[in-house]
Amino acid sequence: MGRIANALFGGWSISGLWRWSTGYPFGTSSPAWSTNFQLTAPAVLVGKKPETGSFIVPESNGTGPNVFKDPGITDPSNPNAAINQFRAAFPGEVEDRNILRGPGTFNIDAGLSKAWHTTESQTLKFTWEVFNVTNTPRFDVGNMYLAGNTSLSSVTAFGNFTSTLSNTRVMEFALRYSF
């Protein structure tokens, strides 16, 4: 390759890091659980365990991402609705601890760099790094709307996430001259 073509196309370096993991466990009173008469659990699972992950909820059932695939909110005609799989706890009753699992994480970080040797002792290096290339959010199961201290029948946003654990995509450019 000629000198000009090598300066433009030769010697590029690519780097990357890929992470994929399962989600954190949680219960309806996450992150705490009750163990005595005064601190009754907010809800007890009585039906099948709802499918969890990160799902977009139709506007009629709530807004934003939700941990349950079919939240159903308080629809008694939908037997698969997540809220219909729980009942209010009896005084002193405890819930199953960490029986549900939140959404996992998927993240790719990548970098591209090129160095030009201007003389034997001088180098110019360009670097471009991208963090969270796919701009994938990781929702926080510790900050979502669950039963809390309210009656299950009055919850209108059951399972809605309120924050994320991950940052949005960030790009970083650098130009370094070494002598």
Domain range holding 89? 3-178
Pairing of strands 65-68, 52-56: antiparallel
DSSP reduced 3-state for 151? coil
> What is the end-to-end Cα distance of the chain in Å, rounded?
27
Res 41: pLDDT: 63
User: Of 46, 54, 49, nearest to 22 (Cα)?
Assistant: 54
Res 75: pLDDT: 59
Count how many domains the chain has. Answer: 1
Q: For the chain, which residues score pLDDT lower than 70?
A: 28-42, 57-63, 70-77, 92, 94-95, 97, 146-156
The predicted-structure confidence for 115-124, as pLDDT tens digits, reads as follows 998 888 999 9
Question: Model's pTM, two decimal places?
Answer: 0.65
